[in-house]
Structure 1
Amino acid sequence: MRRNILITGASAGLGEEMARQFAAKGHNLALTARREDRLAALRDEFLAKHPGLTITIHKLDVTDDEQVFSVFREADKAHGQLDRIIVNAGIGKGAPVGTGRPEVNRETLQTNFIAAFTQAEAAMELFRSRNAGHLVFIASAAALRGLPKTITAYAAAKAGVASLAEGLRMEMLGKPITISTIYPGYIKTALNEKVRNTPLIVDTVPGVRSMVAAIEAEKANAYVPAWPWVPLARFMKVVPLPILKRII
């Protein structure tokens, strides 16, 4: 069992619900995010329900490279050893490319890809030192193809995360360091609350339950929830762009 888990972006959305479900399964948690007050509230909630756990909180801006390394090392020391690190923190901002808002897209790329790369560096430093660990990247179904308008930068960043994970997975083949990439479909969170209604969206709890199950199984790649995203992923990878444009 991967007893001690660090989750970035744990104060809300997928990260918060993953933390809640992992706590219910008996995992000790290192919760990181910028909103320390929210992390403290979650720690109190989890300890009230599961008093035997160790829950630490760490204020972290993942775009601060130095802070990422210091927080990961601090959490590793506090828990004796981190067994699993989940690179989850991200934002959903975006604007059509060339419409005068490059700073918005740059922030998305910085947070969702460059910061994810830094988290991978810090996590792998720890895992390589002991030749053990499970590194999990939360990508997105949007990573499967380039996508238009307000999600172009988001999709590009998540595709970069998936490529980063695959490169590390290839390097770690046959070694006791496992790399997983999780591709969530439409799961309700504050990040996508303004997205138009879609019959494919699922509530947060069951959606995250499928993520947690895939992470616990240490799958290399997982499209979640499996229905309808496993067949949809296959379709999205091969459908011609004119058709894809009409259906997204």
Structure 2
Amino acid sequence: MSRGTILITGASSGLGAEMARQFATLGYDLGICARRTERLDELRAEIVAAHPDRVVSVKQLDVTDDAAVFTVFDEFADELGTIDRVIVNAGLGKGAPLGTGLHKANRETVMVNFVAALAQSEAALKIFRAQGRGHLVMISSLSAVRGMPKQLTTYAATKTGVAALAEGVRMEAIPGVDVSVIYPGYIRSEMNDQVKYPPKFMVDTETGVRAMVAAIEKRRAKAYVPAWPWVPLGYLLRALPTPIVRKLL
């Protein structure tokens, strides 16, 4: 018997794919979408082989196509019968220091991480309002706790925007709708697997996502994951003076 249905964007790799695996193990049916459908098909086959009773629906989606976002979300709702949780996960890690001639990369990150997240939130909440219930989950980042330098400046700003968007929805207190913001620390994923020198405290994908899934299942309003060391480090990043944070980064 299914525990419910979860729609995950950006599910073709990294955190999204691993969330799909772990939620399927917990007994959820899934709607997974991304640009790369061949990877989604492989993920679906893997999940169904391990959990034959699970329903896994696959759809192609470029989250920067607003009309497609609404269409695909509605198609998932029709196909699955209901959508109990939407995880706005699709993201991009491009970026460069402002004023260095790479505006195109920074703009692309803004469009994927924030503008597309707005469309996904709109589409999800349209469904939740009609159902009278639902759980909106926004994947932010520890970089959102304050402004970040150099190549992280734009990325961090988009993740701050995502968190603020979620907080605004929570403030509205839509009947039956819960809103969670997840702030992952350093978790290994396709977005960062080319980093020559992995940062301290980085955990493997499975471990990091397990912490994310646990927080989502508890419907936490906000969660820094994994809790150690990111709860205390998140506090320090917010509280320390800028010159000290600059040295730490």
Q: What interval of TM-score do these two structures reach, taking the shorter chain for normalisation?
A: over 0.9
Whole-Å Cα distance in 1 between the matches of residues 200 and 180 of structure 2?
A: 27
TM-score (ref. length: structure 2): 0.97
- TM-score normalised according to structure 1 size: 0.98
1:8 match: 9
**What letter corresponds to residue 24 of structure 1 in structure 2?**
T
* Unmatched segments (≥5 aa) in structure 1: none
Answer yes or no: is the 8 Å Cα contact 1:85–1:136 preserved in 2.
Answer: yes
Q: Which residue of 2 aligns with 1:188?
A: 188
Matched, 1:139 2:135: no
Return the offset for 1:198: 2.0
CA contact (8 A) 2:3 2:27 kept: no
Q: Distance in 1 between matches of 2:42 and 2:131?
A: 33
Indicate the residue corresponding to 2:226 in structure 1. 225
In 2, Cα distance between the equivalents of 1:225 and 1:20?
Answer: 18
- Match for 1:218: what amino acid? R
Name the CA distance, whole Å, in 1 between partners of 2:191 and 2:160.
18
**Residue-by-residue CA offset, 1:149-206 (whole Å, 9 max, x unaligned):** 1111100000000000000011116x31000000000000110123332221111101
Identity %: 54
Shift of 1:231: 0.8
Q: State the AA in 2 paired with 1:131.
A: G
- Matched AA of 2:216: I
RMSD over aligned Cα atoms: 1.0
State the distance in 2 between where 1:41 and 1:62 align.
20
Quick check: 1:102 aligned with 2:103? yes
CA distance in 2, matches of 1:93, 1:183: 18
1:24 aligns with 2:25: yes
Secondary structure of 1:160's counterpart equals helix
For each residue in 1:67-114, what CA deviation from the matched residue of structure 2 results, as whole angstroms up to 9, or x when unmatched?
Answer: 000000000111000000000000100011000010000000000000
**1:70 and 2:71 equivalent?**
yes
- Does residue 168 (structure 1) correspond to residue 159 (structure 2)? The answer is no
Partner of 2:113: 112
Once the two structures are overlaid, the 10-residue window that deviates more, 201-210 or 1-10, is 1-10
| Contact 1:11/1:35 (<8 A) preserved | yes
SS of 1:53's equivalent? coil
Alpha carbons 1:2, 1:84 under 8 Å: kept: no
Structure 1 runs (4+) deviating above 6 angstroms are none
| SS across alignment from 2:100 | coil
The CA distance in 2 between the partners of 1:180 and 1:105, in whole Å, is: 26
Larger CA deviation: 186-195 vs 21-30? 186-195
Tell me how far apart the structure 1 counterparts of residues 151 and 214 of structure 2 sit (CA, whole Å). Answer: 31
In the alignment, structure 2 segments of 5+ residues that lack a partner are: none
Q: Within 5 Å, which residues of 2 pair with 1:193-208?
A: 193-195=193-195, 196-208=197-209
